[in-house]
Structure 1
Amino acid sequence: MTTSLIHQILLSAPQQQLLAIEDDQVFTAAHLRYDCNALMTQLSLCPQTNIGILCQHSWHFLVALLACQQLGKRPVVFSNIQPRQAQEYAKQWQCLCDIPEVIASTNAISVSHLNKTSSSTNYPFAAIDSQQALLTLYTSGSTGQPSAVDKRLAQLELEAQTLEAQFGSHIVPNALFVGTVAHYHIYGILFRLLWPLLTQRVFDCTLIQTEENLQSLLATPLCFISSPAFLSRLTDMPSIQSQQVSFSSGGPLTIASAQATYKQLGNYPFEVYGSTETGGIAWRQQTQAAKPWRKFDLLSLSINDGCLTVNSPYIEGGKFMTQDCVTLHDDNHFSLQGRADRIVKIAEKRISLDALEHNLNACDGIVDCAVIAIAANKPGPNENQAKAQQLRIGAVVVLDAAWQQTYQAQGHSWLWKNIRQQLKGLIEPVALPRQIRVQAVIPKNQQAKRSYVELEKLFQ
Structure 2
Amino acid sequence: MSSLPLLPPAPAGHVLALHAGRAISQDEFLAQVLALAAALPAGRPLLNLCNDRYHFALGLFAAIAHGNLSLLPNSTAPENIAALHAAHPDLLCLSDQQEPPFGLPTLRITAPEIATATPAMPQIPPEQVVACVFTSGSTGQPQPHIKTFGRLFACAQAEARRIWATTGGPCAVLGTVPFQHMYGLESTVLLPIFGGGILCGERPFFPADVASALADLPAPRFLVTTPFHLRNLLDAEIALPPLAALLSATAPLATELATRAEAQLGAPLLEIYGSTETGQIATRRTTAGPDWALFEGLSLEQEGDYTWADGAFLEQRQQLGDVLELLDESRFRLIGRHADMINIAGKRSSLAYLNHILCKLPGVRDAAFCLPDESEAGRLAAFVVAPGLSAAAINSALRPYLDPLFLPRPLVFLDSLPRNATGKIPAAELQALIEQHLKPQESRRSAPGLSSPPRGAQHDR
> What band does the TM-score fall into relative to the shorter chain?
0.7 to 0.9
Are positions 1:248 and 2:248 aligned together?
yes
The answer to whether structure 1 residue 443 and structure 2 residue 430 are counterparts is: no
- Using the aligned pairs only, state the percent identity: 24
Residue in 1 that maps onto 2:274: 274
Residue 341 of structure 1 corresponds to 339
CA distance, structure 2, for counterparts of residue 333 and residue 173 of structure 1: 24
Aligned partner of 2:26 among 25, 29, 33:
29
Which residue is equivalent to 1:371?
Answer: 369
Higher relative contact order (CA 8 A, sep 6+): 2
Aligned pairs for 1:58-207 within 5 A? 58-81=53-76, 85-86=80-81, 89-90=84-85, 93=88, 94-98=91-95, 100=97, 103=100, 106-113=103-110, 115-120=112-117, 126-171=122-167, 175-207=171-203
1:223 maps to 222
Query: In structure 2, do the counterparts of structure 1 residues 360 and 119 end up closer, same or farther at CA, with 3 Å as the change threshold?
Result: closer
Q: Residue in 2 aligned with 1:302? A: 301
Cα separation, partners in 2 of 1:144 and 1:105, compared to 1, 3 Å: closer
Q: Which whole-Å CA distance do the structure 1 matches of 2:16 and 2:326 have between them?
A: 41
Residue 271 of structure 1 deviates from its aligned partner by 0.9
Distance 2:82 2:76 in 1: 9
TM-score normalised by length of structure 2: 0.82
Q: Given that residues 46 and 70 in structure 2 are in contact (C-alpha distance below 8 angstroms), is that contact kept between their aligned partners in structure 1?
A: yes
Cα distance in structure 2, aligned partners of 1:204 and 1:425: 45
TM-score normalised according to structure 1 size: 0.82
Aligned Cα root-mean-square deviation (Å): 3.1
Query: Structure 1 residues 370 and 41, CA, compared in 2 at 3 Å: closer, same or farther?
Result: same
Aligned length, in residue pairs: 429
What is the CA deviation profile of residues 387-436 of structure 1, one whole-angstrom value per residue up to 9, with x for unaligned ones? 555x432201121x542xxx4xxxxxxx2x44445555865555442332
Q: How does 1:312-391 map to 2 (within 5 A)?
A: 312-317=311-316, 319-346=317-344, 350=348, 352-361=350-359, 365-375=363-373, 387-388=375-376, 391=378
Q: Distance in 1 between matches of 2:111 and 2:69?
A: 21
Q: Which residue of 2 aligns with 1:210?
A: 206
Task: For residue 190 of structure 1, report the CA deviation from its aligned partner.
Answer: 1.8
Contact 1:53 1:76 in 2 (8 A): yes
Q: Is the 8 A contact 1:137 1:186 kept in 2?
A: yes
- Tell me which amino acid in the other structure corresponds to 1:330: D
Displacement after TM superposition at 1:345 (Å): 4.1
Q: Which runs of 5+ in 1 are unaligned?
A: 377-386, 408-414
Shift in Å, 1:138 = 1.0
Judged with a 3 Å threshold, the aligned counterparts in structure 2 of structure 1 residues 159 and 426 are, in CA distance, closer, same or farther, namely closer
- What's the secondary structure of 1:165's corresponding residue? helix
Write the distance in 2 (CA, Å) between the matches of 1:175 and 1:425. Answer: 43
Alignment partners' CA distance in 2, 1:110 and 1:420: 54
> Which secondary structure state, in structure 1, belongs to the residue aligned with residue 151 of structure 2?
helix
CA distance in 2, matches of 1:189, 1:323: 20
Task: Say if 2:252 is the partner of 1:237.
Answer: no
My pick for the range that moved more, 87-96 or 191-200, is 87-96
Larger radius of gyration: 1
The DSSP-based 3-state class of the residue aligned with 1:196 is helix
Task: Give distance in 2, aligned partners of 1:121 and 1:293.
Answer: 42
Alpha-carbon spacing, 1:172–1:71, altered in 2? closer, same or farther (3 Å): same
Q: Letter of the aligned partner of 1:81 in structure 2? A: T
Q: Which amino acid in 2 is paired with 1:42?
A: A
Q: d(CA) in 2 for partners of 1:424 and 1:198?
A: 49
Alpha-carbon distance in 1 for matches of 2:101, 2:181: 25
Give the stretch that moved more between structures: 450-459 or 146-155: 450-459
Equivalent AA in structure 1 for residue 379 of structure 2: R
Which has the larger displacement, 249-258 or 83-92?
83-92
1:85 Cα shift? 4.8
Query: Contact 2:100 / 2:106 at 8 angstroms: preserved in 1?
Result: yes
1:396 counterpart = 2:411? no
